[in-house]
Amino acid sequence: MKIPNHIGIIPDGNRRWARDRGMGVEQGYNYGLKPGLELLRLAKSYGVKEITYYGFTVDNCKRPKFQQEAFQKACIDAVKLIAAEGTSLLVIGNTKSQCFPQELLPYTKRTDINGGGMKVNFLVNYGWEWDLSGLKSDGDSKNSIHSRINSSDISRIDLIIRWGNMRRLSGFLPIQSVYSDFYVVDEMWPDFCSDHFEQAIKWYNMQDITLGG
């Protein structure tokens, strides 16, 4: 079996999931925590080398305050859960805006936690324009685009899995995603089960990977 080195996770559908259950939309995020941890352990057991979670974005911070507070708290809680596992953890995003939770600042340098292990990246207040804004500082460099963006420590993504039925990237790491295979799960993220992940890996195994060639 061909295992993708790096999987990108777009855990979408928390708000729709909550609304469908008669809850306030902001209550959905909390139900995404357990899936995140389950997925982490599952990916590790498959031998995946790197995983990137799409936490929240600069764009998301245009939403009402009560929603912002809910997804900020969920991301803080998720990072704490991940930090209790053995990983090489990096939280990355625009730390200079108010929307970035101060509690996550200690994680913004990659750190081996509990003996290290799989690379885990967590995008917090990430923006694709913010990411590429780092490019301009390099003048006439012959260095690759990838090596000059703010998220250069995140490697090329082999497989992106998006929950919640939408077929779009929504600004997710445009440079690392140029050649990624894109698998969409119809179910909402809080309804995550291991079968979704396994089906995605099976599908990935049927793809002819050419990296644009």
Nearest approach, Cβ of 190 to a second copy (angstroms)? 18
- Which range of residues in 36-44, 101-109, 112-120, 176-184 is near a second copy by CB under 8 A? 176-184
202 part of the interface to a second copy, by CB under 8 A: no
Regarding 185 and contact with a second copy (CB under 8 A), the answer is no
In the range 143-172, which residues lie near a second copy by CB under 8 A?
A: 144-145, 166-171
Q: Examine residue 2 and tell whether it contacts a second copy (CB under 8 A).
A: no
x/- map, 31-70, a second copy, by CB under 8 A: --------------------------x-xx-xx-------
d(CA 200, CA 207): 11
On the CB side of 5, CA atoms within 13 Å amount to: 8
Chain-centroid distance, C-alpha 31:
16
Site track for a second copy across 84-123, x = CB under 8 A: ----------------------------------------
Region for 125 from its dihedrals, namely left if φ exceeds 0, alpha if ψ lies in -120 to 50, beta otherwise: left
Question: What is Dmax (Cα atoms) for the chain?
Answer: 55
Regarding 211 and contact with a second copy (CB under 8 A), the answer is yes
Q: Which of 90, 175, 185, 188 binds a second copy (CB under 8 A)?
A: 175
By C-beta, is 105 or 166 nearer to a second copy?
166
Nearest CA to 93 among 59, 45, 136? 59
Report the side by side order of strands in the sheet with 111-113: 111-113, 87-92, 119-126, 50-57, 6-11, 159-163, 181-185
Q: How far is CA 207 from the centre of its chain?
A: 22
Q: Which residues of 20-34 are buried (b: 16+ CB within 10 A; e: fewer)?
A: eeeeebbebbbbbbe
| 19 lines the binding site for a second copy (CB under 8 A) | no
Residue among 22 and 139 whose Cβ is closer to a second copy: 139
What residue ranges bind a second copy (CB under 8 A)? Answer: 57, 59-60, 62-63, 128-129, 132-133, 135-136, 138-141, 144-145, 166-171, 174-175, 177-184, 207, 210-213
